[in-house]
Amino acid sequence: MEYKNIVLIGGNSGIGLAVKSKLEETGAHVFAYSRSGEAGRELDVTTDFNHLEGLPDVIDGLVYCPGTINLKPFHRFTVEDFRNDYEINVLGAVKVLQACLKGLKKSTSASVVLYSTVAVGVGLGFHASISSAKGAVEGLAKSLAAEWAPNKIRVNVVAPSLTDTPLAAQLLANEDKKEASNKRHPLGRYGKPEDIASATRYLLSDESSWMTGQVLHLDGGMSSLRGV
């Protein structure tokens, strides 16, 4: 990863901050953007834009972290709830990808990492809106992986289960909730930002150079195992 130019969207907290730290440890040049601007440059992905200020000429990697957790019974969701989740998770990624495409094409081994959720592959109640949005992210990633393969641009997705981030604070607000979450995962614990960051760094690195169009299920076994 040394000297690689990595564009990171949402690098000021949670998974994004852990990714930023992991990449900088390995000598990567991280160009970070966030809504607050604390991580680097300011960017609100819900606004209209077709370019990003301060992008490097050559982009070796792109990580899109913005996401939402909006959980409630389906009958309580509004169309605006669905629209908001789609705007942040999908359309924000689309705008960033289009703004970065020229730079990605100039790299000899570019890699894009997007984020989904375990709830796309596993039916989970109260997840209708976020599952719909993240399902679209997975479809987008696979289509772009096929389209961009001739340009040697890889596109992969990490699909975590519940991870201890500020976004998930209400779901892990006390010891009872933490213990209940631990029990839902075959490996006996919910995720840490560092878990996701390590997988992201792998997908950005040359060690995964023959991997594209894949969804990496990083979820403590939740998507494929039953507890004993």
Catalytic residue positions, numbered: 116, 134
Question: Does the CA dihedral 119-132-90-135 come out positive or negative?
Answer: positive
CB 134 within 8 A of CB 117: yes
Q: How far is CA 152 from CA 62, 201, 215, in A?
A: 14, 18, 18
